[in-house]
Amino acid sequence: MNHFGMPATAAELFLLGAICVILLVDVFLSDRNRWVSYALSLLAIAGAAFMTISHPATQRLSVFDGMFIGDPMGDVLKLFTYGTVAASFLYSRDYLARRGLFKGEYFILGLVALLGIMVLIAAGNLLTVYLGLELLSLALYALVAFDRDSGIAAESAMKYFVLGAISSGALLYGFSIVYGVTGTLQLDELAVAVREVGPNNMGLVFALAFIIVGIAFKFGAVPFHMWIPDIYHGAPTPVTLFIGAAPKVASFILAIRVLAEGMDAMLPTWQGMLIALSVLSMVLGNVVAIAQTNLKRMLAYSTISHVGFILLGVLAGTTDGYRAAMYYTMVYVIMSVGSFGVILALSREGFEADQLDDYKGLARKSPWFAAVMLMLMFSLAGVPPFVGFWAKLAVIGAVLNVDLWWLAAVAVVLSVVGAFYYLRVVKLMYFDEPADTVGVQAGGTVRTVLSLNGLAVLALGIFPSVLIDVCARVLP
Amino acid sequence: MLALGDRAIAAGRWIALLTTAITFGISTLLYVNFDSTTAQMQFVEEHTWISFLSAMYSLGVDGISMPLIILTAFVTPLVVIAGWTVIEKRPAQYYAAFLILEGLMIGVFASLDALLFYVMWEAMLIPMFIIIGIWGGPRRVYATMKFFLYTFLGSVLMLVSLIYMYLQTCDGGQCSYAIADFQRLPLGMNEQLFIFISFMAAFAVKVPMWPVHTWLPDAHVEAPTGGSVILAAIMLKMGGYGFLRFALPITPDASSKLDWLVISLSLIAVVYIGFVAIVQKDMKKLIAYSSVAHMGFVTLGAFLVFQLLSVNGDVRGAAMGIDGAMVQMISHGLVSGAMFFCVGVLYDRVHSREISAYGGVVNKMPIFAAFAVLFAMANAGVPATSGFVGEFLVIIASFRADFWFAFLAAITLILGAAYTLWLVKRVIFGPVANEHVAALTDLNGREFIVLGLLALAVLALGLWPAPLLDVMRPTVENLVQQITASKL
């Protein structure tokens, strides 16, 4: 074991250094030269990616007395998160610049959130888990309030902060009881200790309830979903895009590290809790989304329903299920980034493009972007040949594999309910006549990234083995 | 095609026509080179698609799928020709949608892998959704949403079953989505019942069987002519094909146990929907209901098998029922497609589908009237047309099973004649009804080619069905054997 631990943590350390440098550089930049921070942030992500690739974890290794671990799954998720955060930055630049929000803080806070996710991914100890989670959450609270002249953003941030703090408290309380019962915070030791104490130990079950509350909140699963619609709606669209993407990876890894690695012996207990959360999320998300007229809010409810599907994979409690959940998370993030990317691409001076009616007749004004949105919507609805179908297939297969066939039936029927509101967007774009004739004014970067994003949804759907094989390799 | 856009419409049309025509040319090679002595899959093409799920990209045809593929390839170019000048709104997207659709439909019939089949089956909904939604009539949005959600709901339940069977095939870590493996899979009665019901959900909606047929009249009425033709001619056949390829061989015992359900639903469709068709005021709606009634024959023919086998072990009769179902599918594909083309011809001129808006069309459009009467005869099942062969085979098979089945099924001959001939009488014959009809002009060259080709096919199949029956024989016999062998 390498107690020094430098190679394993190279990416995190590099990113931390880069954040400090950008923070200092940004202070001395005039608004005209603000692009330097933007470029440096992208470079920092590229550097971190290089570090991760050049120090791959071929097997599970742990440093700093087990506080910090590296494994192939973590590497893949880190690389995926770099891509997501970079895409968020690329999408956001035009929008921010147009609204006078093009400030260094956005990128710095984004990088801090990224660092939080990386720490969480590499957590081998409940304390590290909490550290990463708080690093991420605090950065996100600030990001939501980032447009300080917007009242609704400030309100959302406040709401997010209060609810987030409560849920973090619940999580921490759960961790402390776990420590009280088992005497350890180390995840691998915890797994052994839980078996010794017995999974039906009252204290542990009590702790588990609090931990599940914390996890469900971070995911946004019903009944801990209240913050999602308001924050998605209230935050500036680039921030919504950011929150809707990378943090989902964090929620997934949080569930995996704590539940699947630390408390796997308590599977029957947390499986029951997650089934309830999952079914409620799918029902409420899909049904309430139908009533929305604001696209950001509709996508917020759609997120809630997709969280239900991710939880399906987790609650299966098998490697098969974790793999499916990981695949679903990655696929969902790709689709979510794309859908908010479309909103960003269509927005212009004084026009947010966040009402459903803003999409009327888009196929006339911009056939290509309408086609991209069409692919994203059908993919979110889980219609083949788009990638969203394979994600659904994977989780439903995992659930059937543990003989929860009724749950699979409920899930597929609810996905039909969900198809309705995605189809409505397609209907608005293709079947209705445009209300105005103003074309799309997106810049070249946004157009390129969005096109690639849309094509990825199609290509990964036709050749699903690309992404499935990656998940299969890291979770054999 | 999409890249070309609406700037070069003429070029786009020719590309679409050439592509579909060449596809048809290639598909006839399937027939020419088909070995009709074996029930094995032929022209098999196999590549690994998703190694982790051991899903294969595997295509192949046998006696059941080959005629349906040729039907698809035959009808699509006609749709392209029919839309030549009629489609003025975004024609490039229109043709592109049909080309994508054709590829997917052929894929559905040719897939040997259940996952591939499912992907094609669902993906097909997307272009159809767009076709009805953009180029459809006034209530198109309602119709297309209903169409999509209805079929989507049916298919997702089938997906659960497919995954379940996939997990059952797992043997030493090697699972398989191959349809052939599913057919060999031993399944208990309860499993079979669940799987069969989920298949029913998917295929009965598609066929469509009473009482889940309600999407069809809406979709047919609102779809553009080309969309109606494809829906009636090909998409409905997928339900029947699904029964023959999946439900019967994979769950023979459940099918046998629940055959009364399917048979009674089919008979209700044949008789009750026949009555419903009589009272329709809209031509497209009438043809849509007649489609439901005719497809009732397909499901009836397919499920009579169990009655025949259990009553007197009549293997020949069973094969005859399935033969009848197949011929009926092909024939209905041609006839209903042709009827929708006829309505399209009138609609392009008068812009009304109401029966009462017409009358005395024969005075102004004699050639058209000749075609219309021919197709109406075929729809009513008059001998020497393809409609007769299929219905006759099914009725004979049902005589062998039970007199009352045959009696009810035969009622349709009367009902079919009643609603189609009455339609013809009101629209085609009589004095010229109004100035719109007086202003009609007869068929132009394009329309003549489309209807002429269909008429040839209808007559050929009616007079000499042997080439079709011959290629199907080994496959059908093999299918009957599979059905007879209980899995319990």
Best of A380, A383, A406, A430 to mutate (most B CBs within 10 Å, chain B): A383
Residue A300 has pLDDT above 50, yes or no: yes
Size of interface A-B (CB pairs under 8 A): 84
Interface contact flag, B164 A400, Cβ < 8 Å: yes
Q: How many CB atoms lie within 10 A of CB A293?
A: 10
Q: Look up the pTM and report it.
A: 0.89
Residue B278 has pLDDT above 90, yes or no: no
Structural domain boundaries, residue A214: 2-474
Number of folded domains in chain A? 1
The Cα A239–Cα A95 span in angstroms is 11
Task: List chain A residues with CB under 8 Å of B2.
Answer: 367, 371
* Contact status, residue B230 vs residue B76, Cβ threshold 8 Å: yes
Residue B5 has pLDDT above 80, yes or no: no
Residues forming a β-bridge with B394? none
Interface contact flag, B133 A412, Cβ < 8 Å: no
Tell me the pLDDT tens digit for each residue of B163-221: 888 888 877 667 788 877 887 778 888 888 888 888 888 888 888 887 888 888 888 88
Provide the shortest C-alpha distance from residue A463 to chain B (in Å). Answer: 7
**The pLDDT value given to residue B312:** 67
**The pLDDT value given to residue B6:** 53
- For A468, the closest of B50, B93, B134 (CB atoms) is B50
What is the average pLDDT across A320-336? 92
Least confident of A159-173, A246-260, B28-42, B288-302: B28-42
**The pLDDT value given to residue A3:** 47
Task: List chain B residues with CB under 8 Å of A427.
Answer: 133, 141, 144-145
Interface contact flag, A389 B152, Cβ < 8 Å: no
Q: A293: number of CA atoms within 13 Å, CB side?
A: 1
Residue A309 has pLDDT above 90, yes or no: yes
The Cα A471–Cα A79 span in angstroms is 13
Provide the shortest C-alpha distance from residue A319 to chain B (in Å). Answer: 14
Query: B296 vs A48, which has greater pLDDT?
Result: A48
Task: From A386, A358, A381, A357, select the one nearest A463 (Cα to Cα).
Answer: A386
Place of tokens 């192939």: A72
**The pLDDT value given to residue A116:** 94
Provide the shortest C-alpha distance from residue B141 to chain A (in Å). Answer: 7
What is the average pLDDT across A110-115? 94
Residue B2 has pLDDT above 60, yes or no: no
What is the average pLDDT across A294-314? 92
**The pLDDT value given to residue A1:** 45
Tell me the pLDDT tens digit for each residue of A153-212: 889 999 999 999 999 999 999 999 999 999 889 988 998 998 888 888 888 999 999 999
- For A423, the closest of B2, B148, B157 (CB atoms) is B148
Question: Given CB atoms, is B146 within the 8 Å cutoff of chain A?
Answer: no
What is the average pLDDT across B448-466? 85
Q: Are strands A68-70 and A61-63 parallel, antiparallel or unpaired?
A: antiparallel
Question: Given CB atoms, is B118 within the 8 Å cutoff of chain A?
Answer: yes
Place of tokens 């392209």: B80
What is the average pLDDT across A19-37? 88
Provide the shortest C-alpha distance from residue A246 to chain B (in Å). Answer: 26
Residue B439 has pLDDT above 80, yes or no: no
Which chain A residue shows the shortest CA-CA distance from B89?
A: A364
**The pLDDT value given to residue A376:** 92
Provide the shortest C-alpha distance from residue A393 to chain B (in Å). Answer: 8
> Which tokens sit at B150?
């209805």
Q: Round the average pLDDT of chain A to a whole number and report it.
A: 88
> Which tokens sit at B104?
């997917």
Provide the shortest C-alpha distance from residue A465 to chain B (in Å). Answer: 5
Task: List chain B residues with CB under 8 Å of A419.
Answer: 148-149, 152
- For B149, the closest of A420, A468, A469 (CB atoms) is A420
pLDDT band per the 50, 70, 90 thresholds, residue A137: very high
Tell me the pLDDT tens digit for each residue of B120-178: 888 888 888 888 888 877 888 888 888 888 888 888 888 888 888 888 887 766 778 88
Interface contact flag, A416 B152, Cβ < 8 Å: yes
Instruction: Give, in order, the Cα–Cα distances in Å from A20 to each of A8, B10, B33, B392.
Output: 20, 61, 72, 84
> Which tokens sit at A23?
């923070």
Interface contact flag, B49 A469, Cβ < 8 Å: no
Tell me the pLDDT tens digit for each residue of B335-361: 888 888 888 888 888 888 788 777 777
Q: How many CB atoms lie within 10 A of CB A14?
A: 16
Question: Given CB atoms, is B32 within the 8 Å cutoff of chain A?
Answer: no
Percent of chain B at pLDDT exceeding 70: 95
Instruction: Give, in order, the Cα–Cα distances in Å from B312 to each of A64, B305, B307, B419.
Output: 79, 11, 8, 36
**The pLDDT value given to residue A80:** 93
* Contact status, residue A417 vs residue A287, Cβ threshold 8 Å: yes
Which chain A residue shows the shortest CA-CA distance from B194?
A: A405
